[in-house]
Amino acid sequence: EAQVTQNPRYLITVTGKKLTVTCSQNMNHEYMSWYRQDPGLGLRQIYYSMNVEVTDKGDVPEGYKVSRKEKRNFPLILESPSPNQTSLYFCASSFNRGRYGYTFGSGTRLTVV
Amino acid sequence: KQEVTQIPAALSVPEGENLVLNCSFTDSAIYNLQWFRQDPGKGLTSLLLIQSSQREQTSGRLNASLDKSSGRSTLYIAASQPGDSATYLCAVKVSNFGNEKLTFGTGTRLTIIP
């Protein structure tokens, strides 16, 4: 089944403890991206990757890092999480610059205390 | 800067009724527009994708229209069912070059009353 898989689905952590949210897609998509969803603000893009070793900032990149060493994987790294990064995170991928739409993962609910 | 608005933020209708959800965007130079549904605590499920050259797309009881010149899209749901209760999001993709991001509206939370 074609899908985007995120792990974990739920995560509670403490301020300052580094964490990684994984994202993997099995559709050979070249484009991958991370969004966060907050009440009243909708989904906002954090980082994106056009292909392996090509990444760039989205609208809200502060406090996040990404890497794209393999085409299928695009992990989101929070080096020192803070409570304002408590949010619902989504990974997305697409083929041919989104011509056929985007596929989203099931989301990761992160709580930073 | 592209802005996407969905009004109303919430809508309740009795089961069986037809309904229309609205999406408006400020920059008409879009590449395509995608409608998603989001169930509580769940991910985004793609419903329909409309390319900028298309006027509408249909899937089952769903029909999405696009009017680029007026910056509007509608999602029509026929014969609504309780299982249609969810939040509906529209998202536009502005260009085919550079950052391939989607700009989302904040959604319409739909409740179908049995």
- Tens of pLDDT, residue by residue over B29-57, are 899 999 999 998 788 999 999 999 999 99
Q: Sign of the C-alpha dihedral, residues B31, B1, A108, A17?
A: positive
Assess contact for A89 and A108: CB atoms under 8 A: yes
| Residue B45 CB-half CA count within 13 A | 11
pLDDT at B94 over 90: no
pLDDT at B24 over 90: yes
Task: Find, in chain A, the residue whose alpha carbon is nearest to that of B52.
Answer: A99
Alpha carbon B78 to chain centroid, angstroms: 15
Of A90, A97, A101, the CB nearest to B46: A101
Which string of DSSP letters, residue by residue, matches A34-56? EEEEETTTEEEEEEEEEETTEEE
Residues of B in contact with A56 (CB under 8 A): 99
Of A42, A99, A104, the CB nearest to B43: A104
- Tens of pLDDT, residue by residue over A69-99, are 999 999 999 999 999 999 999 999 998 878 8
Predicted local distance difference test score (pLDDT) of residue A10: 96
Rounded to an integer, what distance in angstroms lies between the CA atom of residue A46 and that of residue A60? Answer: 5
Residues of A with CB under 8 A from a CB of B: 31, 33, 40-43, 45, 48, 50, 56, 58-59, 90, 92, 94, 97-107, 109
